[in-house]
Amino acid sequence: MEEKEIRKERLKQLKDLGYSSHPYSYPSEETISSIVEKFREKQGEELEKFNVSTAGRILTIRRMGRATFLHISDGKEKLQIFMGENSLGKKKYSDFKLFNTGDWIGVKGSLFRTKTGELTILCEDFSFLAKSLLPLPEKWHGLQDVEVRFRKRYLDLLVNRRTREIFEKRAEIISKLREFFQRKGFIEVETPMMHPVLGGAAAKPFVTHHNSLDMDLYLRIAPELYLKRLVVGGMERVFEIGRNFRNEGISPFHNPEFTMLEFYWAYRDYNFLMGLTEEIFQEIAMKIWGKLEGEYQGKKINLSSPWKKLKFMDSISNASGIREESLWDEEFVIKKANELFPEEEVLPSTYSKSLDFLFDKFVRGELFQPTFVIDLPKVLSPLAKEHRQDGRLTERFELFIGGMELANAFSELTDPEEQKNRFEEQVKRKEEGAEVDLDYIEALKYGLPPTAGEGIGIDRTIMIFTDSPNIREVILFPLLRKK
């Protein structure tokens, strides 16, 4: 008989013995984690007076005749169970022979420590909770196959402890961010994910359709324009944590749906945001690393203030040797970008793409320590306010850590007339995600106060703090091809 059939057969046998095959509930009193936590330091008689009742999945079984050891898990911690014929009785002990690894079990008993000092429940009674009809992946090597890990994340979580840790840290970081912004007097909102008009970023959208309204809708590429409408409406400090959707390629740093934090703070500018950003990341670091220094992919990252600031145009000029004044020559930049990398398959065709391209080639990879790249040109920044000292630039920064762009922020453009011109300019350049959002411009006409806004890529932030080289490691169910 194959293993699957054996397990099925054993479920039937348990049923015949009077066990419910799919019980409705189990009155466990504590999780395995809480027991492990509570009795970590306790020894001997102090320990043995405690009776506990818990439940979990069986990970390993070691049978030795009339005694059996198992480890059960609540997904986070493991706890050893001892089953002896003496304490359970012959019949009950023999019933346990029908259990396999992977099965769910409820356990009651007293606590003790084994010879080697491991905390263990001396089992006095157990309940059958669910059968695993399929065998678990291997206990020693875990589940290695990347594809299976992502497609069957439940198995990955079961067997690979690190996976659980990543998603616990993810939850901690997100709740830290919520707490941070609430503490600063922000209100959390949810804006539409289905947009009739595209905007807020430069990206290809997913398109969907509403039947009864007979209307095409875009899955949002950014919540930006809605959040600023809320600032117009008097929400002076507002934030949203949510999913964005971009119909672009997939890479170690890009998943088609990803989570972003966006926030807007009225009466502030981008200079203020740089300080705030340092504060945010430092609070996360203290929570996750316990200090301001951590390691990402084998290299130290130091988040102590102040972080380096690099002017966008300077950084390209310094790294590439192209004179800064030449970088303002649109034709020259396009030509140069194409000449410098003749082996590239897809070469940039527009000025803004060429600038971005040069930045990526010469600068981005070098930005391992936290760095604000500041004062990006207007052509790259249709929603940012003109720089107060240089009309060709905007008051904008992008934050890089570990060679990844983690945040993007600016002093928001508040002038409806100029916003309209910038949108139209974009449409003329046929840029991705470019549409003139007249409704947004109307909102601006009611007056957007001076406002600073920022988006922080949550998935990439999690990558840094969990030392993950690939975005899929920090997303529970990353998009994969249909099999």
Partner RNA sequence: GAGCCGUUAGCUCAGUAGGUAGAGCACCGGCCUUUUAAGCCGGGAGUCGCAGGUUCAAUUCCUGUACGGCUCACCA
Write out the binding residues for RNA, residues 77-116 only, by CB under 7 A.
80, 82, 84-86, 97, 100-101, 112, 114-116
40 binds RNA (CB under 7 A): no
336 binds RNA (CB under 7 A): no
Choose, by CB under 7 A, the member of 13, 21, 144, 421 that binds RNA: 144
Choose, by CB under 7 A, the member of 209, 212, 213, 346 that binds RNA: 346
User: Interface residues for RNA in 398-427 (CB under 7 A)?
Assistant: 404-406, 408
Number of chain positions touching RNA (CB under 7 A): 85
For 108, the token pair is: 């009651």
Choose, by CB under 7 A, the member of 180, 459, 461, 464 that binds RNA: 459
Q: Which stretch binds RNA (CB under 7 A): 48-56, 171-179, 247-255, 411-419?
A: 247-255
Whole-number minimum distance, CB 166 to RNA, in Å? 15
Choose, by CB under 7 A, the member of 40, 49, 209, 483 that binds RNA: 483
330 binds RNA (CB under 7 A): no
Give the separation between CA 189 and CA 234, rounded to whole angstroms.
13
Contacts 24+ apart (CB under 8 A), 217-220: 218/194, 219/193, 219/194, 219/195, 219/245, 220/191, 220/192, 220/193, 220/194, 220/195, 220/244, 220/245
Query: What is the Cα 288 distance to its own chain's centre?
Result: 14
For 32, the token pair is: 């395995």
In the complex with RNA, the residue whose CB is nearer, 167 or 253, is 253
Give the separation between CA 145 and CA 388, rounded to whole angstroms.
53
By the 8 A CB rule, do 450 and 266 touch?
Answer: yes
In the complex with RNA, the residue whose CB is nearer, 82 or 440, is 82
In the complex with RNA, the residue whose CB is nearer, 292 or 340, is 340
253 binds RNA (CB under 7 A): yes
In the complex with RNA, the residue whose CB is nearer, 182 or 349, is 349
195 binds RNA (CB under 7 A): no
In the complex with RNA, the residue whose CB is nearer, 285 or 380, is 380
What is the phi/psi pair of residue 176, to 5°? -60, -45
Start-to-end CA distance of the chain, whole Å, equals 29
Eight-state DSSP code of residue 159: H
What is the phi/psi pair of residue 410, to 5°? -160, 165
In the complex with RNA, the residue whose CB is nearer, 232 or 356, is 356
Give the separation between CA 432 and CA 249, rounded to whole angstroms.
14
Give the separation between CA 359 and CA 316, rounded to whole angstroms.
6
For 90, the token pair is: 């012959």
Q: Which helix (H) or strand (E) holds 349?
A: none
User: Interface residues for RNA in 347-386 (CB under 7 A)?
Assistant: 348, 353, 356-357, 360-361
Whole-number minimum distance, CB 133 to RNA, in Å? 11
In the complex with RNA, the residue whose CB is nearer, 219 or 231, is 219
Amino acid symbol at 61: I
Whole-number minimum distance, CB 47 to RNA, in Å? 12
